[in-house]
A and B are shown apart, each in its own frame.
Chain A
Amino acid sequence: MLAPNFELNATPDQKLRLSELRGKRVVLAFYPADWSPVCGDQLDLFNETLKYFSSYNAQVIGISVDSTWSHMAFSRDRNLHFPLLSDFEPKGAVSRLFWCYNATKGCSERALFIIDEQGIIRWSEIYPEGINPGVDGVLEALEELNAKTNKKNYEQVTIAGQ
């Protein structure tokens, strides 16, 4: 399924459009709110493992309904090295597009999407509330995606070589 394109603010005066990232894989990480009180929240784990993700040609992007100002302060506090997008106005619009908006709570669910180089959603997972699933599941999914792509390339080369 083609991922819905969207444009959100990454900083108060900078927007990021999903389609700008064609050619790269994108890991979209929806999360409920900035300022989670534990060491090792999922965003911290992404932050610590960015080089694992870049080895899969994947860019990690966080999305929540917090404002860009909150994101900036949070990002500085946690020393985050990947963008946080603000699904702030209209509130939760992009989260709704990806079917992971919790209208009762007024925030995004914790959900992960892998979008491939062509903008197609290849894997997704929504997690129950209060669960921090770590990052092993998404890394394994990227590994599987690599295996599939390699197989396909191999088959194409084999056919071409016949």
Chain B
Amino acid sequence: MNKLQLPVNDRDQRTGNLEAELTLVEYGDYQCPYCRQAHPLVQRLLREHGNQLRFVFRHFPLRKIHAEATMAAYTAEAAGRQGKFWQMHDLLFVNQHRFREETIFHDLARKLDLNMDKFLADTGDMEIATKVENDFRGGIYSSVNRTPTFFLNEEKVYLYDGTYESLLTTIELFV
């Protein structure tokens, strides 16, 4: 299957123009170097075309090769409970090289002025763990076979080759 099997829903982390007709979904892993590389490209896309585009990020942590990826996903979702998912999302990618530091995720939470008690409780919350697991499972059944994998309006994107132009072309071809 090369279609998105799990439709975009209220539990998804969404940004950009939430009413837009175009929806770009990324399956990504905060510890994946290719996702870090894609991050500023998506940011630029949202800066330049964010009014035409709704962007959704779903977690696809490859736990066995990226030991910190799952905790990073929980960290983003926990920040989301305090309205700061996207700020944390950005911070995580920018600080990817520091994931091995023991207190990194707490440091980032403090940096965003999160309520630490709540943050700590939420990173261990089953509902968040389940959300991350469901994202992953949805990705598996949508034939996600590497990170990042993008879907534009539920169709798998094959054009993306690590460049901004390829991402932009994908959008333009659709419009």
Contacts and interface: CB of A to CB of B under 8 A. Distances in A.
A133 B146 CA distance: 10
Given A39-B29, A45-B140, A136-B140, A79 B65 contact: yes
B64 A78 contact: yes
Interface in B62-99: 62-66
Contacts of A38: 34, 146
Nearest to A50: B64
A44 B33 contact: no
A80 B65 CA distance: 9
Contacts of A132: 145-146
Contacts of A42: 145
A contact patch SS: loop
B148 to A, nearest CB: 9
A52 B62 contact: no
Interface string B8-34: 000000000000000000000100111
Contacts of B142: 136
B contact patch SS: loop
Contacts of A147: none
Interface residues of A, number: 22
A78 B145 CA distance: 16
Contact of B64 (A79, A133, A135): A79
A47 B64 contact: yes
Interface in B109-166: 136, 140-147, 149
Contact of B34 (A39, A49, A137): A39
Interface of A: 38-42, 44-45, 47-49, 52, 78-81, 132-137, 139
4 A-B pairs with the lowest CB-CB distances in the bound complex, closest first: A40-B146, A134-B145, A134-B143, A132-B145
